[in-house]
């Protein structure tokens, strides 16, 4: 009996020690939240192919005078602008889309409202990669304005010079796109159709915008189109967007180039306040045989947005990077 009792105590001691050892190595119990996080990290990340970014801005200028001996007229001016980019890239396919819209007015005492900015510019370009920096591509672009323009500083009582889709320019071309990096894009279309549209009957006059006869609304040209877009970071809070285009008509007077250049300088104060300077130069022999210039400067509100995906231009253009 005594031996049986001793054997029982020995077995109990062994079981107790084993249990203590097992409890000592137990890991903390994972919560449901931790389990889901670990599962998410273990799953392959979904590749995103759309890069979406843009800027909305509203610039304001204002002046008020009361009993001011040096003179002056009360005035207020505003310019609203949106600039959106939608780019799709997968494998060797690149589809780039841009929308730029701008409109502004100034109102001066005893003179009334006048237009100070007016722009509609929509472009799309699809390319198939054929080498490290080159794509064979096809693209289209539409440019016009929102409201009528007049000879006497946009005075509605003066002679009308332009209107919505009068003129409107549609470019359709095929050629090559060169992308050295994400800030430099060059498009060269040796086969490009340029359609000039004048849909306002008041402006359908012979020799106006290249129209051959009164009552005509379309002018078709075929030639070479090229564009260069270059983004420059001058300082941490100062960026500059440049774009230049050229068109030469193979069919008639190819030496009369249609030239345009635009520059936008953003001077960022903080997340929502910035100063914007714009410069536009344009020359088209069919419009006026002089260089056209437009420049604006304003301080106001701006809001930038992005879906957090950008093109990673390194060895190959087919890869994308999610911003950290």
What value does the mean pLDDT take over residues 24-46? 56
Q: Is the pLDDT of residue 211 over 60?
A: yes
CATH code for position 182: 2.40.230
Give a yes or no: residue 177 inside a domain.
yes
67 — pLDDT class (breaks 50, 70, 90) = confident
Cβ atoms < 10 Å from Cβ of 129:
20
Chain center to CA of 127: 18
Q: Report the candidate in 55, 94, 85 with the shortest Cα–Cα distance to residue 187.
A: 94
Residue 247 included in any domain: yes
Q: Which domain holds residue 312?
A: 54-322
Q: Does residue 10 lie within any of the structural domains? A: no
Q: Is residue 31 part of a domain?
A: no
End-to-end CA distance of the chain: 75
Give Cβ neighbours of residue 256 (< 8 Å, ≥ 6 apart): 248, 249, 285
Q: How far apart are CA 88 and CA 318, in angstroms?
A: 10
pTM of the model: 0.81
Cα distance between residue 240 and residue 184, in whole Å: 12
Q: How confident is the model at residue 251 (pLDDT cuts 50, 70, 90)?
A: very high
pLDDT recorded at residue 321: 34
Top pLDDT among 122 and 313 is at 122
**Predicted pLDDT at 41:** 62
Q: Within a domain: residue 3? A: no
Pairwise CA distance, residues 145 & 139, whole Å: 21
- With a CB cutoff of 8 Å and minimum separation 6, the contacts of 240 are 231, 232, 233, 234, 263, 264, 265, 266
pLDDT band at 151 (very low <50, low <70, confident <90, very high): confident
Average pLDDT over residues 214-222: 97
Tell whether 33 is covered by a domain: no
In a domain, 32, yes or no: no
Task: Give which of 102, 64, 60 is closest to 78, Cα–Cα.
Answer: 60
The answer to whether 87 and 94 are in contact (CB under 8 A) is yes
DSSP state of 30: P
Number of structural domains the chain divides into: 1
Beta-carbon contacts of residue 216 (< 8 Å; ≥ 6 apart)? 198, 204, 206
DSSP at 4 = H
Tell whether 313 is covered by a domain. yes
């Amino acid at each position: 009996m005594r031996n049986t009792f001793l054997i029982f105590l020995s077995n109990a001691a062994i079981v107790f020690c084993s249990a203590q050892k097992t409890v000592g190595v137990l890991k903390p119990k994972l919560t449901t939240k931790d389990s889901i996080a670990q599962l998410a990290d273990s799953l392959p990340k979904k590749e995103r192919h759309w890069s979406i970014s843009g800027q909305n801005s509203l610039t304001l200028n204002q002046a008020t005078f009361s009993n001011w001996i040096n003179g002056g007229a009360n005035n207020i001016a505003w310019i609203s602008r949106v600039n959106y980019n939608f780019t799709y890239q997968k494998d060797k396919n690149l589809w780039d889309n841009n929308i730029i819209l701008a409109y502004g007015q100034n109102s001066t005492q005893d003179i009334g409202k006048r237009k100070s900015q007016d722009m509609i510019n929509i472009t799309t370009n699809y390319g198939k990669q054929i080498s490290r920096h080159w794509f064979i591509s096809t693209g289209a672009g539409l440019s016009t304005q929102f409201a009528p323009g007049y000879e006497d500083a946009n005075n509605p009582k003066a002679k009308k010079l332009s209107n919505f889709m009068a003129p409107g320019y549609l470019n359709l071309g095929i050629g090559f796109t060169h992308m050295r990096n994400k800030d430099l894009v060059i498009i060269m279309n040796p086969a490009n159709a340029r359609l000039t549209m004048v849909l306002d009957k008041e402006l359908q006059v012979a020799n106006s915008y290249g129209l051959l006869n009164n009552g005509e609304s379309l002018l078709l040209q075929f030639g070479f189109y090229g564009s260069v877009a270059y983004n420059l970071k001058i300082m941490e809070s100062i960026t500059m967007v440049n774009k230049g285009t050229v068109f030469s008509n193979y069919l008639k007077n190819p030496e009369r180039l249609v030239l345009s250049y635009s520059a936008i300088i953003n001077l960022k104060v903080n997340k929502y306040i910035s100063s914007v300077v714009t410069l536009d130069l344009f020359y088209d022999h069919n419009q006026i045989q002089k260089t056209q210039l437009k420049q604006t400067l304003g301080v106001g509100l701006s809001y930038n947005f992005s879906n957090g995906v950008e093109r990673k231009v390194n060895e190959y253009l087919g890869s994308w990077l999610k911003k950290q």
